[in-house]
Amino acid sequence: MKTGSRVDLGLLVIRIGLGATMFAHGSQKLFGWFGGHGVKGTAAGMEHMGYRPPRISAVAAGLGEAGGGALLGLGLATPLGGAAVAATMASAAAVHAPAGFFATEGGMEYQVGLAIAGAALAISGPGRYSLDESLDQRLNRPWMVVAALAGVSVIAAAIQADRQKRLADTAAAEQPSAVGDLD
């Protein structure tokens, strides 16, 4: 087997594995499939994690995961699919970051790994065994990689900044007054 063929086959395996994983996670959020909670349950979780508005946040997370995963699995609009997965998982990693890195402690290890894989596929492209290849790479141009990764990075950063502000405001409101009885 030629080196190019091995690389293309490896990209196919990674795309299908990551794409199926992400599609399943997003389907849990959007439709309640695979033991998920659907939009209503996911929105309640998003509200608890500091995302506002919670329903829109739940739908956006579900679309980022399911839509990005579907695009990666198919090898279609790979820069967009990979960037969607990377941004959605970076946001999920931010939720787990206070617990540290390792998943055994509730940390962000799993989410970071998925984000890196999504970004890597956005950059590398889908390989020969893909719909992008069948479409002569019309949806997989170098400028699209930069635009997709930059665009979702800005959006994810803004969402996380808003979330962090809300969490800080909530924590400050819940703190007991530092001023004691002066009598």
**How far is residue 93's CA from residue 31's CA, in Å, rounded to a whole number?**
23
Cβ-in-10-Å burial (0-12, 13-18, 19+) of 65 comes to buried
Are the C-beta atoms of 8 and 127 separated by less than 8 Å?
A: yes
CA distance 12 to 50: 36
Q: What is the pLDDT of residue 1?
A: 63
* Amino acid 126: pLDDT: 97
* Alpha carbons 119 and 155: distance in angstroms, whole number: 15
> CA distances (Å), 121 to each of 67, 124, 140, 151, 177, in order?
15, 5, 11, 16, 50
Q: Is the pLDDT confidence value at 180 over 90?
A: no
Q: What is the mean pLDDT of residues 48-65?
A: 94
Cis bond before residue 53 (omega within 30° of 0): yes
CA dist 27 and 130 (Å) reads: 23
Share of residues in the chain with pLDDT > 70 (%): 95
Q: Is the pLDDT of residue 4 over 90?
A: no
Contacts of 99 by beta carbon, 8 Å cutoff, 6+ apart: 105, 106, 107, 108
Instruction: Parse the chain into domains and list their residue ranges.
Output: 3-164
Name the average pLDDT for the chain. 93
Task: Answer yes or no: is pLDDT of 183 > 80.
Answer: no
pLDDT given for residue 174 in this prediction: 86
CA distance 128 to 110: 28
How far is it, in rounded angstroms, from Cα 13 to Cα 89?
A: 20
CA-closest candidate to residue 140, choices 124, 129, 155, 153: 124
Q: Which pLDDT tens digit goes with each residue over 73-83? A: 999 999 999 99
C-beta neighbour count of 6 within 10 angstroms:
10
Q: Where does the pLDDT of residue 134 fall: very low under 50, low under 70, confident under 90, or very high at 90 and above?
A: very high
